[in-house]
Amino acid sequence: MKNKSIIAVATMLGIFNVATAGNIKVVTTTTDLKSITELVGGNKVSVSSIATGYQNPHFVDPKPSYIISLSNANLFVTVGLDLETGWSPQLLTSSRNPKIQKGSPGYVDASEGIGLMQVPGSLNRGEGDIHIYGNPHYWLDPLNGKVIARNIADGLERIDPSNKTFYETNLQAFYKKINDKMAEWQMKMAPYKGSKIIAYHNEWCYFERRFGLEIVDFMEPKPGIPPSPSQLVKVIKEVAANHIKVIVSSPYFTTSSSDVVAKQTGVKELTLATSTNAFDGIKDYFDLFDYDINQLLTVLK
Amino acid sequence: MFATLFQNLKFKNYALQRVILKSKKLILLLWVMFTSILLNAQVVKDSTAIADSMLLKQIELQMQNNTQPAPAQTRSGLSANPDIGVIGDFQLSYISKGKKNIDAYLNETEVSFQAVVDPYIRADFFVSFGRDDATGKYGVEVEEGYLTSLSLPARLQLKAGKFKEAVGRINPTHAHALPFIDLPNAYVNYFGSGLNDEGLSLSWLLPNKKFYQELVVQGTSGRGESPSFKQSEGNRFIYLAHLKNFFTLNDNATLELGLTGISGPNDSARVTNIAAGDLTYKWKPVKMNTYRSLTWQSEFYYSNAAYTSDLSKNSMGLYSFIDYQVAKRWFLTGRYDYAQKPFDKKIIEQAYSLTAGWNATEFSKMEIEAKTTDDNVQSRYYQAWLRWIFVIGAHGAHQY
């Protein structure tokens, strides 16, 4: 009897081992996290992202269909800092998956250790949609990509320690590629250091800092508030006064208001990618910066 | 005197013996606990040593790789308080019949407290300060107060407390999140302001990988009274089962089909059975989902209520609405209501309503609704409302 139960337990453990050794199922909130997880996890992981690359990550609809993949996931990776506060906590609770709840080994907050910008001293919603922990669009600085990758590697190593060396090797390769690409991107952008631009939404501060741009104003009068006529007048004046060459927007905003400014001033409009897969050809995290920088160069020249 | 003293002593002795006996058990228990802790502690000690060396290695490795400067600013606003939010619902109303035609009131003030309790459960409380229509005075009510399990096995989730029951789409939704100001006539006939009761709810996520399927089973006491159900004087409870099927048609469109059955005691101390179905089509283009969307939602209710041993009444009702997002902040909703009175299905109400909504931000919206109601007993009447919803503090996500 005892022997039988030992065999039974051993078989169960065996099955469990087989199940975890093959594919680590990872669900990420955004496509950038998906791309970095794939680069670090290699063939040990299968990753799906809830948001698409061309979607506003603040406003993802918490469709029950996402719960299916979450309920089977071994690891959950989130941008954090209340970027996904309107949808991911609800999906996590509904997933009934204790492995990926906040505080569990399978929960990765990619923002751990990021040097945050625009952390508010006080909170007043009269200032629009402001983020209590700071601006959450930090993945748009490639050097922050390293911190994200470190956090993801830590998560993978927590739940799959047997492949630690594998993940560490991939992580080093990722660091190296970021360093190499960074040199290339910095060189390309160097001649345009200090270029003044207008942005639609306050989501470019990390990118702005890294590549030496200067965002003069936003199309939105306050974060999350659609452009008003008075704001358009203000922006038109600023474009003329500062010889601004470009208005930078994202795939999920309408261009109607920037069209007005462009018509009045001749400023160019540019829809940049805010995430991997925003447009065809942006297949990974590196493509994202290649695309955005090449696009910017065409208008800043 | 000696006798009593002796007796007392004897008694005390007896009591002492009991205490000793008890404490022996206690000591045994403590000893078992102590040794088990000791044993565990030894195991922990070993693993701590390994974990320590692993941690050291990890730190060393991190030190080597750390090219990122330390965070420039620390995070703010960390506290152990639950998320607290207050929702105000101010209304103006007009009705074409009766003596008082125009009214203005703070319809509801809802205070929410929400947080994870521990690694096993989370808690959600909604306290409502509402106006009593009859007295005009404000009363406090626990609108909902329940715990939700976070770590049950086998894709199960348990809810316990007072909660809005899983009847289709309208009942689980808080009034301020609906795209119209009044509630559908058929819904009001059967559930009043809502089927919101005290008890247990168990939900199971079916292991279906093709589409989302959830089965909810609820048993409640009937304390939260509604037109269809009352608390029984005996041991009868209200039982509900709801099957939710959710299909992703493509990236931009989804379809939800729900089936509900409810059975419970009514005010005639007999049983009312209700069968309900809901169908919801949603179109929301993923890329521009904050600018355009469309929802077509319908619910159907069929009720069988026994009043005496040989008298039972059948009735049915439905509503159907289309909610279209015209622009980023503008919504238009048209709704049709059909409702047979549960006590007499020959009395039929039909109503048409149109609501225009302006969502200023995620935290405030204004709506205006006009409605016309016809039935075959009284003459047609008109109603209109204006509602202003405003939220301060934390505000959780709504269901899709």
CA A175/CA A169 separation, integer angstroms: 10
CA A270/CA B378 separation, integer angstroms: 62
Instruction: Tell me A97's DSSP state.
Output: -
Query: Chain A interface, mutation test: which of B54, B63, B67, most A Cβ atoms within 10 Å?
Result: B67
Of A85, A116, A143, the CB nearest to B68: A143
CA A176/CA A172 separation, integer angstroms: 6
Residue A11 in this model has a pLDDT that exceeds 50: no
* Backbone phi, psi, residue B172, to 5°: -75, -10
Instruction: Give the full edge-to-edge strand order of the sheet including A214-218.
Output: A214-218, A196-199, A246-249, A268-271
Asked if residue B96 lies in contact with residue B383, where contact means CB atoms within 8 angstroms, the answer is yes
Of A119, A224, A226, the CB nearest to B76: A119
Q: Which residue is it, tokens 């089909």?
A: B257
The mean of the pLDDT values for chain A is 90
Closest CA to B70 of A261, A147, A151: A147
ipTM: 0.83
Query: Chain A interface, mutation test: which of B214, B328, B400, most A Cβ atoms within 10 Å?
Result: B400
pLDDT of A204-240, one tens digit each?
A: 999 999 999 999 999 999 988 889 999 999 999 999 9
pLDDT at A45: 96
Closest CA to B301 of B178, B189, B174: B189
pLDDT at A46: 96
pLDDT at B40: 44
In sequence order, the β-bridge partners of residue B158 are B202
CA distance to partner chain B, nearest, from residue A265 (Å): 26
CB-based contact, B60 to chain A, within 8 Å = no
pLDDT of A230-282, one tens digit each?
A: 999 999 999 999 999 999 999 999 988 999 999 989 999 999 999 999 999 99
Greatest Cα pair distance in chain A: 87
Residue B397: its chain A contacts at CB < 8 A? 62, 85-87, 89-90
Give the Cβ contact number of residue A155 at 10 Å: 27
* Structure-token pair, residue A50: 């809830």
pLDDT at B42: 39
Residue A40 in this model has a pLDDT that exceeds 90: yes
Residue B45 in this model has a pLDDT that exceeds 70: no
Of A128, A144, A251, the CB nearest to B287: A251
Sign of CA dihedral A33, A38, A44, A49: positive
pLDDT of B138-191, one tens digit each?
A: 889 999 999 999 889 999 999 999 999 999 999 999 999 999 999 999 999 999
Residue B150: its chain A contacts at CB < 8 A? 93, 96, 98, 101
Residue A90: its chain B contacts at CB < 8 A? 396-397, 399
**First vs last C-alpha separation in chain B:** 81
Of A98, A144, A171, the CB nearest to B150: A98
pLDDT at B41: 41
pLDDT of B348-367, one tens digit each?
A: 999 999 999 999 988 899 99
The mean of the pLDDT values for chain B is 85
Of B116, B157, B399, the CB nearest to A96: B157
Contact (CB<8Å) B151/A101: yes
Asked if residue B385 lies in contact with residue B91, where contact means CB atoms within 8 angstroms, the answer is yes
What residues of chain B, 183 to 242, have a C-beta less than 8 Å from chain A?
205, 208-209, 211-212, 214
Assign B152 to helix, strand or coil: coil
CA-based nearest residue in chain A for residue B251: A52
List b or e across B69-85, with b for residues whose CB sees 16 or more CB atoms inside 10 angstroms. Answer: eebeeeeeeeeeebeeb
Contact (CB<8Å) B65/A175: yes
Residue B219 in this model has a pLDDT that exceeds 90: yes
Residue B329: its chain A contacts at CB < 8 A? 226
CA distance to partner chain A, nearest, from residue B186 (Å): 27
Residue B56: pLDDT band by 50, 70, 90 thresholds? Answer: low
CA-based nearest residue in chain A for residue B64: A172
Residue B18: pLDDT band by 50, 70, 90 thresholds? Answer: low
Contact (CB<8Å) A65/B284: no
Contact (CB<8Å) A59/B290: yes
Show me where the domains of chain A are located.
2-110+124-180, 184-300
pLDDT at B377: 87
Of A134, A146, A252, the CB nearest to B73: A134
pLDDT at A301: 83
Contact (CB<8Å) A115/B68: yes
Asked if residue A262 lies in contact with residue A236, where contact means CB atoms within 8 angstroms, the answer is no
Residue B196: pLDDT band by 50, 70, 90 thresholds? Answer: very high
Least reliable range by pLDDT among B21-25, B117-121, B224-228, B371-375 = B21-25
CA-based nearest residue in chain A for residue B66: A147
Contact (CB<8Å) A129/B289: no
In sequence order, the β-bridge partners of residue B364 are B361, B390
What residues of chain B, 302 to 331, have a C-beta less than 8 Å from chain A?
328-329
Residue B214: its chain A contacts at CB < 8 A? 64
CA A177/CA B331 separation, integer angstroms: 47
The residue-averaged pLDDT of A140-158 equals 97
Closest CA to B335 of B316, B313, B314, B357: B357
CATH topology identical between A2-110+124-180 and A184-300: yes
Asked if residue A285 lies in contact with residue A36, where contact means CB atoms within 8 angstroms, the answer is yes
pLDDT at B59: 55
Closest CA to B284 of B249, B322, B252: B252
Asked if residue B299 lies in contact with residue B284, where contact means CB atoms within 8 angstroms, the answer is no
Give the Cβ contact number of residue B342 at 10 Å: 24
Residue B39 in this model has a pLDDT that exceeds 90: no
pLDDT at B395: 75
* Structure-token pair, residue A291: 């695309």
Structural domains in chain B, sorted by start: 83-393 (2.40.160.10)
Residue B71: its chain A contacts at CB < 8 A? 113-116
Residue B400: its chain A contacts at CB < 8 A? 61-64
Q: What fold, for A184-300?
A: Rossmann fold (3.40.50)
The model carries a pTM of 0.81
Contact (CB<8Å) B214/A114: no
Residue A141 in this model has a pLDDT that exceeds 50: yes
CA-based nearest residue in chain A for residue B396: A86
Cα A184-A186-A192 angle, rounded to 5 deg: 125
pLDDT at B10: 47
Asked if residue B178 lies in contact with residue B169, where contact means CB atoms within 8 angstroms, the answer is no
Q: Which CATH architecture has domain A2-110+124-180?
A: 3-Layer(aba) Sandwich (3.40)
